[in-house]
Amino acid sequence: MKMRWLHPSVRQKKRRTRSSILTGTPSHGRSACLAACRQKRRVRFTTAAALVNELVEAKQNNQVRKLMMRWQKYELIVRDEVGYVPLADIGAEFLFQVISDRAERAAIIVTTNLPFSEWTTVFPNPRLCKALLDRITDRAHIIDTGTESFRFRRTLERSKKR
């Protein structure tokens, strides 16, 4: 259905946002690729661990609601490095809350080095992990970046030149 007759701001609201998940082993340039998403958009780029630390600190200062409202202002939130650091229960719950709040309203991009079957090593509660995966993968683009590290490949190429 074309909506050319609508004002551009209204058309923007009608568009369905879709999230993306980039999976693969370390050193594939996922994080560098995502830096390009910042162009001309309100984007918040953070690692999963940094987000959790920020939320835990906000909880200690009774500022969680204020922080969550600030996160809602971004058109896109990028969660980098989900899977590198196992999360404590409170961290997993906070990450679930952020993703759950945004799942239907705005796009999220997640990068991970783990296949979904191993996310229970990061999220200790299996029910929470399943619910999180359900929300984040719903209508998402899932992109596997491969298994060969570009850093390792570059090192091999340098050693061949010597």
Cα separation, 76 vs 154, whole angstroms: 32
Of the candidates 48, 142, 46, 137, the residue with the CA atom closest to the CA atom of residue 92: 48
Per the model's pLDDT, the better-predicted residue between 140 and 63 turns out to be 63
- pLDDT per residue over 123-156, tens digit each? 999 999 999 999 989 888 888 876 666 666 777 7
Domain layout of the chain by residue ranges: 17-161
3-class secondary-structure state, position 25: coil
User: What's 17-161's CATH class?
Assistant: alpha beta
The mean pLDDT value for 109-135 works out to: 91
Mapped onto helix, strand or coil, the DSSP state of residue 39 is coil
Mean per-residue pLDDT, 12-31: 60
User: pTM of this prediction?
Assistant: 0.71
Average pLDDT over residues 101-129: 88
Question: What is the pLDDT at residue 133?
Answer: 93
